[in-house]
Amino acid sequence: QDVKLWGGRFADGPSAALEKLSASVHFDFRLAPYDIAGSRAHARVLHAAGLLTADELSRMIAGLDALEADVASGAFRGTLADEDVHTALERGLLERLGPDLGGKLRAGRSRNDQVATLFRMYLRDHARIIGGLIADLQDALVGLAEAHPDTAMPGRTHLQHAQPVLFAHHVLAHAQALSRDAERLRQWDERTAVSPYGSGALAGSSLGLDPEAVARDLGFERGSAGNSIDGTAARDFVAEFAFVTAMIGVNVSRIAEEIIIWNTKEFSFVTLHDAFSTGSSIMPQKKNPDIAELARGKSGRLIGNLTGLMATLKALPLAYNRDLQEDKEPVFDSCDQLELLLPAFTGMLATLTVHRERLEELAPAGFSLATDIAEWLVRKGVPFRVAHEVAGECVKVCEAEGIELHQLTDEQFAKISADLTPQVREVLDVHGALAARNGRGGTAPSAVAVQLAEVKADLAVQ
Protein backbone atom coordinates (compact mmCIF):
# COMPACT_ATOMS: atom_id res chain seq x y z
CA GLN A 1 0.00 0.00 0.00
CA ASP A 2 1.49 3.34 -1.04
CA VAL A 3 0.74 5.95 1.60
CA LYS A 4 1.77 9.51 0.77
CA LEU A 5 1.31 12.27 3.28
CA TRP A 6 0.90 14.92 0.62
CA GLY A 7 -0.75 13.54 -2.57
CA GLY A 8 -3.92 15.67 -2.70
CA ARG A 9 -2.95 18.57 -4.92
CA PHE A 10 -0.77 16.54 -7.33
CA ALA A 11 -2.03 15.17 -10.63
CA ASP A 12 1.12 13.12 -11.23
CA GLY A 13 3.08 10.94 -8.81
CA PRO A 14 6.73 11.69 -8.08
CA SER A 15 9.42 10.58 -10.52
CA ALA A 16 11.56 7.62 -9.50
CA ALA A 17 14.61 9.89 -9.37
CA LEU A 18 12.87 12.26 -6.95
CA GLU A 19 11.70 9.41 -4.76
CA LYS A 20 15.22 8.11 -4.47
CA LEU A 21 16.64 11.53 -3.69
CA SER A 22 13.95 12.40 -1.20
CA ALA A 23 13.99 9.19 0.82
CA SER A 24 15.38 9.32 4.34
CA VAL A 25 13.73 6.21 5.75
CA HIS A 26 16.94 4.19 5.43
CA PHE A 27 18.58 6.38 8.07
CA ASP A 28 15.74 8.01 9.99
CA PHE A 29 13.88 4.78 10.79
CA ARG A 30 16.01 4.59 13.91
CA LEU A 31 13.76 7.38 15.22
CA ALA A 32 10.71 5.08 15.04
CA PRO A 33 10.39 4.33 18.81
CA TYR A 34 10.51 8.06 19.53
CA ASP A 35 8.00 8.83 16.78
CA ILE A 36 5.59 6.31 18.31
CA ALA A 37 6.06 7.80 21.78
CA GLY A 38 5.32 11.21 20.25
CA SER A 39 2.21 9.82 18.58
CA ARG A 40 0.90 8.48 21.88
CA ALA A 41 1.37 11.87 23.52
CA HIS A 42 -0.24 13.58 20.53
CA ALA A 43 -3.24 11.22 20.62
CA ARG A 44 -3.80 12.19 24.26
CA VAL A 45 -3.89 15.92 23.52
CA LEU A 46 -6.23 15.29 20.57
CA HIS A 47 -8.51 13.52 23.04
CA ALA A 48 -8.17 16.33 25.60
CA ALA A 49 -9.14 18.81 22.85
CA GLY A 50 -12.25 16.77 22.05
CA LEU A 51 -10.96 15.53 18.71
CA LEU A 52 -10.76 11.83 19.67
CA THR A 53 -13.38 10.04 21.80
CA ALA A 54 -12.23 7.98 24.79
CA ASP A 55 -12.86 4.83 22.78
CA GLU A 56 -10.94 6.15 19.79
CA LEU A 57 -8.05 7.11 22.06
CA SER A 58 -7.80 3.67 23.60
CA ARG A 59 -7.95 1.97 20.19
CA MET A 60 -5.36 4.44 18.89
CA ILE A 61 -3.01 3.71 21.81
CA ALA A 62 -3.50 -0.04 21.33
CA GLY A 63 -2.68 0.33 17.62
CA LEU A 64 0.46 2.33 18.44
CA ASP A 65 1.51 -0.26 21.04
CA ALA A 66 1.08 -3.05 18.48
CA LEU A 67 3.06 -1.09 15.91
CA GLU A 68 5.78 -0.43 18.47
CA ALA A 69 6.08 -4.15 19.20
CA ASP A 70 6.31 -4.92 15.48
CA VAL A 71 9.00 -2.28 15.00
CA ALA A 72 10.95 -3.74 17.93
CA SER A 73 10.70 -7.31 16.60
CA GLY A 74 11.50 -6.25 13.04
CA ALA A 75 8.11 -7.47 11.78
CA PHE A 76 7.38 -3.92 10.63
CA ARG A 77 10.02 -2.08 8.60
CA GLY A 78 10.11 1.11 6.61
CA THR A 79 10.63 0.80 2.86
CA LEU A 80 12.01 3.30 0.37
CA ALA A 81 8.48 3.88 -0.96
CA ASP A 82 7.61 5.24 2.48
CA GLU A 83 9.94 8.25 2.04
CA ASP A 84 10.61 8.72 5.75
CA VAL A 85 9.99 7.24 9.19
CA HIS A 86 6.90 9.36 9.77
CA THR A 87 5.27 8.14 6.55
CA ALA A 88 6.23 4.54 7.25
CA LEU A 89 4.64 4.63 10.70
CA GLU A 90 1.48 6.26 9.36
CA ARG A 91 1.22 3.38 6.90
CA GLY A 92 1.74 0.93 9.75
CA LEU A 93 -1.00 2.59 11.77
CA LEU A 94 -3.45 2.67 8.84
CA GLU A 95 -2.76 -1.04 8.25
CA ARG A 96 -3.60 -1.78 11.87
CA LEU A 97 -6.50 0.62 12.54
CA GLY A 98 -8.02 1.29 9.11
CA PRO A 99 -8.22 4.70 7.44
CA ASP A 100 -11.04 6.20 9.52
CA LEU A 101 -9.32 6.05 12.89
CA GLY A 102 -5.73 5.79 11.61
CA GLY A 103 -6.25 8.92 9.51
CA LYS A 104 -7.12 11.09 12.53
CA LEU A 105 -3.73 11.15 14.22
CA ARG A 106 -2.05 13.59 11.87
CA ALA A 107 -4.32 16.49 12.82
CA GLY A 108 -2.45 19.44 14.29
CA ARG A 109 1.06 18.16 13.79
CA SER A 110 3.62 18.28 11.00
CA ARG A 111 6.68 16.26 10.22
CA ASN A 112 8.55 19.48 10.93
CA ASP A 113 7.68 19.63 14.62
CA GLN A 114 7.74 15.83 14.87
CA VAL A 115 11.24 15.40 13.55
CA ALA A 116 12.63 18.28 15.62
CA THR A 117 11.19 16.62 18.74
CA LEU A 118 12.22 13.03 17.99
CA PHE A 119 15.71 14.07 17.08
CA ARG A 120 16.12 15.74 20.47
CA MET A 121 14.82 12.62 22.22
CA TYR A 122 17.20 10.36 20.31
CA LEU A 123 20.25 12.53 20.96
CA ARG A 124 19.38 12.95 24.65
CA ASP A 125 19.32 9.17 25.06
CA HIS A 126 22.64 8.81 23.29
CA ALA A 127 24.18 11.64 25.29
CA ARG A 128 23.49 9.46 28.34
CA ILE A 129 24.96 6.37 26.69
CA ILE A 130 28.10 8.24 25.65
CA GLY A 131 28.33 9.84 29.11
CA GLY A 132 28.36 6.34 30.62
CA LEU A 133 31.10 5.22 28.23
CA ILE A 134 33.19 8.26 29.15
CA ALA A 135 32.79 7.39 32.83
CA ASP A 136 34.12 3.89 32.03
CA LEU A 137 37.12 5.44 30.28
CA GLN A 138 37.74 7.70 33.27
CA ASP A 139 37.57 4.66 35.53
CA ALA A 140 40.33 3.05 33.46
CA LEU A 141 42.46 6.20 33.80
CA VAL A 142 41.81 6.31 37.54
CA GLY A 143 42.85 2.63 37.69
CA LEU A 144 46.16 3.45 36.00
CA ALA A 145 46.76 6.35 38.39
CA GLU A 146 45.98 4.19 41.41
CA ALA A 147 48.24 1.39 40.21
CA HIS A 148 51.19 3.81 39.93
CA PRO A 149 50.89 6.26 42.81
CA ASP A 150 54.60 7.14 42.97
CA THR A 151 56.06 6.37 39.55
CA ALA A 152 57.99 9.29 38.05
CA MET A 153 58.11 9.91 34.31
CA PRO A 154 59.65 12.48 32.01
CA GLY A 155 57.14 15.30 31.67
CA ARG A 156 57.36 16.97 28.28
CA THR A 157 56.65 20.25 26.58
CA HIS A 158 57.25 20.53 22.83
CA LEU A 159 57.68 16.73 23.14
CA GLN A 160 61.10 17.49 24.70
CA HIS A 161 62.08 16.49 28.23
CA ALA A 162 60.86 19.31 30.45
CA GLN A 163 60.45 18.38 34.13
CA PRO A 164 59.76 15.07 35.85
CA VAL A 165 56.12 14.48 36.76
CA LEU A 166 54.23 11.66 38.41
CA PHE A 167 52.79 9.20 35.91
CA ALA A 168 49.50 9.41 37.86
CA HIS A 169 49.54 13.21 37.46
CA HIS A 170 49.84 12.88 33.69
CA VAL A 171 47.12 10.26 33.42
CA LEU A 172 44.74 12.29 35.61
CA ALA A 173 45.22 15.30 33.31
CA HIS A 174 43.42 13.29 30.63
CA ALA A 175 40.73 12.36 33.15
CA GLN A 176 40.16 16.05 33.89
CA ALA A 177 39.53 16.79 30.20
CA LEU A 178 37.04 13.93 30.05
CA SER A 179 35.25 15.24 33.16
CA ARG A 180 34.66 18.49 31.29
CA ASP A 181 33.35 16.55 28.28
CA ALA A 182 30.93 14.70 30.54
CA GLU A 183 29.85 18.02 32.06
CA ARG A 184 29.34 19.45 28.57
CA LEU A 185 27.05 16.54 27.72
CA ARG A 186 25.00 17.11 30.87
CA GLN A 187 24.69 20.85 30.23
CA TRP A 188 23.76 20.22 26.60
CA ASP A 189 21.08 17.82 27.79
CA GLU A 190 19.58 20.45 30.10
CA ARG A 191 19.46 22.98 27.28
CA THR A 192 17.92 20.44 24.90
CA ALA A 193 15.06 19.50 27.26
CA VAL A 194 12.55 21.62 25.29
CA SER A 195 9.86 20.02 23.10
CA PRO A 196 9.00 21.49 19.68
CA TYR A 197 5.90 19.25 19.42
CA GLY A 198 2.87 21.48 18.81
CA SER A 199 4.82 23.95 16.69
CA GLY A 200 3.18 22.35 13.64
CA ALA A 201 4.76 23.19 10.30
CA LEU A 202 5.93 26.52 11.73
CA ALA A 203 2.95 28.49 13.06
CA GLY A 204 1.41 26.32 15.79
CA SER A 205 -2.04 24.74 15.64
CA SER A 206 -5.60 26.08 15.54
CA LEU A 207 -6.98 22.91 17.15
CA GLY A 208 -6.57 23.87 20.81
CA LEU A 209 -3.86 21.29 21.47
CA ASP A 210 -1.66 21.51 24.57
CA PRO A 211 2.06 21.48 23.72
CA GLU A 212 3.00 21.58 27.41
CA ALA A 213 1.15 18.33 28.04
CA VAL A 214 3.04 16.67 25.18
CA ALA A 215 6.34 18.01 26.52
CA ARG A 216 5.61 16.57 29.98
CA ASP A 217 4.54 13.28 28.47
CA LEU A 218 7.78 12.96 26.50
CA GLY A 219 10.06 13.87 29.41
CA PHE A 220 11.09 17.37 28.31
CA GLU A 221 11.78 18.96 31.69
CA ARG A 222 11.79 22.51 30.32
CA GLY A 223 8.40 22.29 28.64
CA SER A 224 7.45 23.15 25.08
CA ALA A 225 9.07 25.53 22.60
CA GLY A 226 8.42 29.20 23.35
CA ASN A 227 8.34 30.05 19.63
CA SER A 228 6.99 27.65 17.02
CA ILE A 229 9.17 29.04 14.20
CA ASP A 230 12.30 28.51 16.29
CA GLY A 231 10.91 25.18 17.47
CA THR A 232 10.84 23.79 13.94
CA ALA A 233 13.88 25.58 12.46
CA ALA A 234 16.47 25.55 15.26
CA ARG A 235 19.25 23.02 14.94
CA ASP A 236 21.86 24.53 17.24
CA PHE A 237 21.12 21.61 19.58
CA VAL A 238 22.41 19.32 16.82
CA ALA A 239 25.47 21.44 16.09
CA GLU A 240 26.31 21.65 19.79
CA PHE A 241 25.96 17.90 20.16
CA ALA A 242 28.27 17.48 17.15
CA PHE A 243 30.78 19.78 18.81
CA VAL A 244 30.66 18.01 22.17
CA THR A 245 31.12 14.62 20.50
CA ALA A 246 33.92 15.97 18.27
CA MET A 247 35.63 17.36 21.38
CA ILE A 248 35.38 13.94 23.01
CA GLY A 249 36.95 12.48 19.88
CA VAL A 250 39.76 15.02 20.03
CA ASN A 251 40.43 14.42 23.72
CA VAL A 252 40.50 10.66 23.18
CA SER A 253 42.75 11.15 20.17
CA ARG A 254 45.28 13.03 22.32
CA ILE A 255 45.45 10.05 24.67
CA ALA A 256 45.69 7.78 21.63
CA GLU A 257 48.66 9.64 20.18
CA GLU A 258 50.56 9.24 23.46
CA ILE A 259 49.79 5.52 23.64
CA ILE A 260 51.12 5.14 20.09
CA ILE A 261 54.34 6.95 20.99
CA TRP A 262 54.75 5.24 24.39
CA ASN A 263 54.27 1.87 22.72
CA THR A 264 57.19 2.35 20.29
CA LYS A 265 60.43 0.42 20.83
CA GLU A 266 62.22 3.74 21.34
CA PHE A 267 59.99 4.83 24.22
CA SER A 268 59.01 1.41 25.61
CA PHE A 269 56.84 3.01 28.30
CA VAL A 270 53.92 0.62 27.84
CA THR A 271 52.97 -2.73 26.34
CA LEU A 272 49.50 -3.36 24.97
CA HIS A 273 47.55 -6.46 25.90
CA ASP A 274 47.29 -8.98 23.04
CA ALA A 275 43.50 -8.77 23.15
CA PHE A 276 43.67 -5.04 22.40
CA SER A 277 46.34 -4.98 19.67
CA THR A 278 46.61 -6.32 16.14
CA GLY A 279 49.13 -8.11 13.96
CA SER A 280 50.44 -7.74 10.43
CA SER A 281 49.58 -9.98 7.49
CA ILE A 282 53.20 -10.03 6.33
CA MET A 283 55.45 -9.14 9.28
CA PRO A 284 55.12 -11.93 11.85
CA GLN A 285 56.73 -9.92 14.66
CA LYS A 286 54.29 -7.00 14.50
CA LYS A 287 51.97 -5.94 17.30
CA ASN A 288 50.19 -2.75 16.39
CA PRO A 289 48.23 -0.16 18.40
CA ASP A 290 45.28 -0.14 15.98
CA ILE A 291 42.71 0.89 18.56
CA ALA A 292 44.65 4.06 19.32
CA GLU A 293 45.14 4.73 15.61
CA LEU A 294 41.43 4.26 14.92
CA ALA A 295 40.71 6.68 17.76
CA ARG A 296 42.98 9.23 16.11
CA GLY A 297 41.36 8.58 12.73
CA LYS A 298 37.81 8.73 14.00
CA SER A 299 38.40 12.08 15.66
CA GLY A 300 38.91 13.50 12.15
CA ARG A 301 35.60 12.01 11.11
CA LEU A 302 33.83 13.51 14.13
CA ILE A 303 35.26 16.93 13.32
CA GLY A 304 34.02 16.46 9.74
CA ASN A 305 30.52 15.71 11.02
CA LEU A 306 30.55 19.00 12.93
CA THR A 307 31.88 21.15 10.09
CA GLY A 308 29.56 19.55 7.51
CA LEU A 309 26.58 20.27 9.71
CA MET A 310 27.60 23.89 10.29
CA ALA A 311 27.86 24.35 6.53
CA THR A 312 24.35 22.92 6.11
CA LEU A 313 22.91 25.36 8.66
CA LYS A 314 24.73 28.46 7.49
CA ALA A 315 22.39 30.99 5.83
CA LEU A 316 19.26 28.79 5.99
CA PRO A 317 16.24 31.10 6.10
CA LEU A 318 13.46 30.43 8.61
CA ALA A 319 11.60 28.22 9.09
CA TYR A 320 11.93 24.56 8.01
CA ASN A 321 13.85 23.84 4.79
CA ARG A 322 14.43 20.43 3.35
CA ASP A 323 18.19 20.98 3.68
CA LEU A 324 17.55 20.06 7.30
CA GLN A 325 17.11 16.43 6.32
CA GLU A 326 20.93 16.46 6.02
CA ASP A 327 21.25 17.10 9.76
CA LYS A 328 20.75 13.54 10.97
CA GLU A 329 23.34 11.30 9.35
CA PRO A 330 26.36 13.25 10.64
CA VAL A 331 25.35 13.07 14.29
CA PHE A 332 23.94 9.54 14.06
CA ASP A 333 27.40 8.70 12.79
CA SER A 334 29.07 10.58 15.64
CA CYS A 335 27.02 8.53 18.13
CA ASP A 336 27.72 5.25 16.33
CA GLN A 337 31.45 5.87 16.08
CA LEU A 338 31.91 6.87 19.72
CA GLU A 339 29.79 3.96 20.91
CA LEU A 340 32.04 1.62 18.90
CA LEU A 341 35.30 3.26 19.81
CA LEU A 342 35.03 4.01 23.52
CA PRO A 343 34.56 0.42 24.81
CA ALA A 344 37.60 -0.77 22.83
CA PHE A 345 39.66 2.22 23.89
CA THR A 346 38.75 1.72 27.55
CA GLY A 347 39.67 -1.96 27.30
CA MET A 348 43.03 -1.05 25.83
CA LEU A 349 43.81 1.32 28.74
CA ALA A 350 42.46 -1.01 31.41
CA THR A 351 44.81 -3.79 30.26
CA LEU A 352 47.89 -1.67 29.61
CA THR A 353 51.21 -2.77 31.12
CA VAL A 354 53.19 0.24 32.32
CA HIS A 355 56.98 -0.12 32.51
CA ARG A 356 57.83 1.60 35.75
CA GLU A 357 61.65 1.16 35.57
CA ARG A 358 61.78 2.67 32.10
CA LEU A 359 59.72 5.70 33.15
CA GLU A 360 61.84 6.18 36.28
CA GLU A 361 65.06 5.81 34.31
CA LEU A 362 64.10 8.53 31.85
CA ALA A 363 62.50 10.90 34.37
CA PRO A 364 65.76 12.79 35.15
CA ALA A 365 67.18 12.52 31.61
CA GLY A 366 67.51 15.53 29.34
CA PHE A 367 68.65 17.71 32.29
CA SER A 368 65.05 17.88 33.48
CA LEU A 369 66.13 19.00 36.96
CA ALA A 370 67.82 22.19 35.72
CA THR A 371 64.83 24.24 36.90
CA ASP A 372 65.30 22.74 40.36
CA ILE A 373 68.87 24.07 40.48
CA ALA A 374 67.60 27.54 39.53
CA GLU A 375 64.83 27.46 42.13
CA TRP A 376 67.27 26.18 44.79
CA LEU A 377 69.43 29.25 44.06
CA VAL A 378 66.38 31.50 44.28
CA ARG A 379 65.62 30.11 47.74
CA LYS A 380 69.20 31.16 48.68
CA GLY A 381 68.45 34.73 47.58
CA VAL A 382 69.93 34.66 44.06
CA PRO A 383 67.81 36.64 41.55
CA PHE A 384 66.04 34.24 39.16
CA ARG A 385 67.64 35.89 36.12
CA VAL A 386 71.08 34.94 37.45
CA ALA A 387 69.94 31.56 38.74
CA HIS A 388 68.59 30.69 35.28
CA GLU A 389 71.96 31.55 33.71
CA VAL A 390 73.88 29.51 36.27
CA ALA A 391 71.66 26.44 35.84
CA GLY A 392 72.01 26.86 32.07
CA GLU A 393 75.80 26.84 32.49
CA CYS A 394 75.51 23.54 34.40
CA VAL A 395 73.63 22.06 31.44
CA LYS A 396 76.26 23.36 29.04
CA VAL A 397 79.08 21.69 31.00
CA CYS A 398 77.12 18.42 31.24
CA GLU A 399 76.45 18.41 27.52
CA ALA A 400 80.11 18.99 26.75
CA GLU A 401 81.17 16.17 29.09
CA GLY A 402 78.33 13.82 28.20
CA ILE A 403 77.14 13.52 31.80
CA GLU A 404 73.95 14.22 33.79
CA LEU A 405 73.49 17.09 36.28
CA HIS A 406 73.93 14.94 39.40
CA GLN A 407 77.30 13.72 37.99
CA LEU A 408 78.89 17.21 38.16
CA THR A 409 81.66 17.29 40.78
CA ASP A 410 81.73 19.76 43.69
CA GLU A 411 84.62 21.48 41.92
CA GLN A 412 82.68 21.82 38.68
CA PHE A 413 79.69 23.30 40.57
CA ALA A 414 81.95 25.75 42.43
CA LYS A 415 83.63 26.80 39.21
CA ILE A 416 80.28 27.59 37.59
CA SER A 417 79.13 29.68 40.56
CA ALA A 418 80.27 30.25 44.12
CA ASP A 419 76.60 29.91 45.16
CA LEU A 420 76.54 26.29 43.99
CA THR A 421 77.62 24.60 47.23
CA PRO A 422 77.47 20.79 47.42
CA GLN A 423 74.04 21.07 49.14
CA VAL A 424 72.57 21.66 45.68
CA ARG A 425 72.57 17.87 45.29
CA GLU A 426 69.49 17.73 47.55
CA VAL A 427 67.34 18.85 44.63
CA LEU A 428 69.03 16.68 42.00
CA ASP A 429 66.85 13.77 42.98
CA VAL A 430 63.69 13.13 40.97
CA HIS A 431 61.47 12.15 43.87
CA GLY A 432 62.68 15.09 45.93
CA ALA A 433 61.82 17.38 43.00
CA LEU A 434 58.35 15.83 42.69
CA ALA A 435 57.61 16.06 46.42
CA ALA A 436 58.59 19.73 46.45
CA ARG A 437 55.80 20.63 43.99
CA ASN A 438 53.07 20.18 46.55
CA GLY A 439 50.85 23.18 45.81
CA ARG A 440 47.32 22.66 44.48
CA GLY A 441 47.39 20.94 41.08
CA GLY A 442 51.10 20.14 41.37
CA THR A 443 52.94 16.89 40.75
CA ALA A 444 53.83 15.95 44.37
CA PRO A 445 52.29 12.61 45.43
CA SER A 446 50.28 14.47 48.09
CA ALA A 447 48.89 16.94 45.51
CA VAL A 448 48.13 14.17 43.00
CA ALA A 449 46.24 12.27 45.70
CA VAL A 450 43.92 15.28 45.96
CA GLN A 451 43.43 15.26 42.17
CA LEU A 452 42.62 11.56 42.26
CA ALA A 453 40.03 12.11 44.99
CA GLU A 454 38.47 14.97 42.99
CA VAL A 455 38.16 12.93 39.80
CA LYS A 456 36.62 10.07 41.76
CA ALA A 457 34.16 12.42 43.49
CA ASP A 458 33.25 13.79 40.08
CA LEU A 459 32.70 10.28 38.72
CA ALA A 460 30.42 9.46 41.61
CA VAL A 461 27.90 12.14 40.54
CA GLN A 462 28.30 11.65 36.77
Q: Identify which of residues 79 and 325 has a Cβ nearer to ligand ARG in the complex.
A: 325
What is the nearest approach in angstroms of ligand ARG to the Cβ of residue 119? 8
Q: Which of 9, 158, 314, 322 binds ligand ARG (CB under 6 A)?
A: 322
Q: Identify which of residues 325 and 371 has a Cβ nearer to ligand ARG in the complex.
A: 325
Q: Using CB under 6 A, which residues numbered 106 to 145 contact ligand ARG?
A: 111-112, 115
What is the nearest approach in angstroms of ligand ARG to the Cβ of residue 194? 18
What is the nearest approach in angstroms of ligand ARG to the Cβ of residue 109? 11
Q: Using CB under 6 A, which residues numbered 162 to 181 contact ligand ARG?
A: none
Q: Is 281 a catalytic residue?
A: no
Please identify which of the residues 58, 86, 195, 280 carries the catalytic annotation: 280
Q: Identify which of residues 111 and 124 has a Cβ nearer to ligand ARG in the complex.
A: 111
Q: Which stretch binds ligand ARG (CB under 6 A): 43-51, 90-98, 129-137, 320-328?
A: 320-328
Q: Which stretch binds ligand ARG (CB under 6 A): 227-235, 319-327, 392-400, 419-427?
A: 319-327
Q: Is 280 a catalytic residue?
A: yes
Q: Using CB under 6 A, which residues numbered 53 to 92 contact ligand ARG?
A: 84
Q: Identify which of residues 322 and 440 has a Cβ nearer to ligand ARG in the complex.
A: 322
Q: Using CB under 6 A, which residues numbered 12 to 51 contact ligand ARG?
A: 24, 28
Q: Which of 215, 324, 348, 398 binds ligand ARG (CB under 6 A)?
A: 324
Please identify which of the residues 58, 73, 148, 158 carries the catalytic annotation: 158
Judged by CB under 6 A, the number of residues near ligand ARG is 9
Q: How far apart are CA 230 and CA 234, in angstroms?
A: 5
Q: Identify which of residues 28 and 372 has a Cβ nearer to ligand ARG in the complex.
A: 28
What is the nearest approach in angstroms of ligand ARG to the Cβ of residue 122? 12
Instruction: Tell me the CA distances in angstroms from 175 to 138, 346, 382, 452, one per residue in order.
Output: 6, 12, 38, 9
Q: Which of 227, 271, 278, 325 binds ligand ARG (CB under 6 A)?
A: 325
Q: Identify which of residues 124 and 170 has a Cβ nearer to ligand ARG in the complex.
A: 124
What is the nearest approach in angstroms of ligand ARG to the Cβ of residue 246? 22
Q: 3-state SS of the chain?
A: CCCCCCCCCCCCCCCHHHHHHHCCHHHHHHHHHHHHHHHHHHHHHHHHCCCCCHHHHHHHHHHHHHHHHHHHHCCCCCCHHHCCHHHHHHHHHHHHHHHHHHCCCCCCCCHHHHHHHHHHHHHHHHHHHHHHHHHHHHHHHHHHHHHCCCCEEEEEECCEEEEEEEHHHHHHHHHHHHHHHHHHHHHHHHHCCCECCCCCCCCCCCCCCCHHHHHHHCCCCCCECCCHHHHHHCCHHHHHHHHHHHHHHHHHHHHHHHHHHHCCCCCCCEECCHHHCECCCCCCCCCECHHHHHHHHHHHHHHHHHHHHHHHHCCCCCCCCHHHHHHHHHHHHHHHHHHHHHHHHHHHHHCCEECHHHHHHHCCCCCCCHHHHHHHHHHCCCCHHHHHHHHHHHHHHHHHHCCCHHHCCHHHHHHHCCCCCHHHHHHCCHHHHHHHCCCCCCCCHHHHHHHHHHHHHHHHHC
Q: How far apart are CA 271 and CA 146, in angstroms?
A: 18
What is the nearest approach in angstroms of ligand ARG to the Cβ of residue 30? 12
What is the nearest approach in angstroms of ligand ARG to the Cβ of residue 232? 9
Q: Identify which of residues 258 and 333 has a Cβ nearer to ligand ARG in the complex.
A: 333
Note the residues at the interface with ligand ARG (CB under 6 A).
Answer: 24, 28, 84, 111-112, 115, 322, 324-325
Which residues are marked as active site?
158, 280
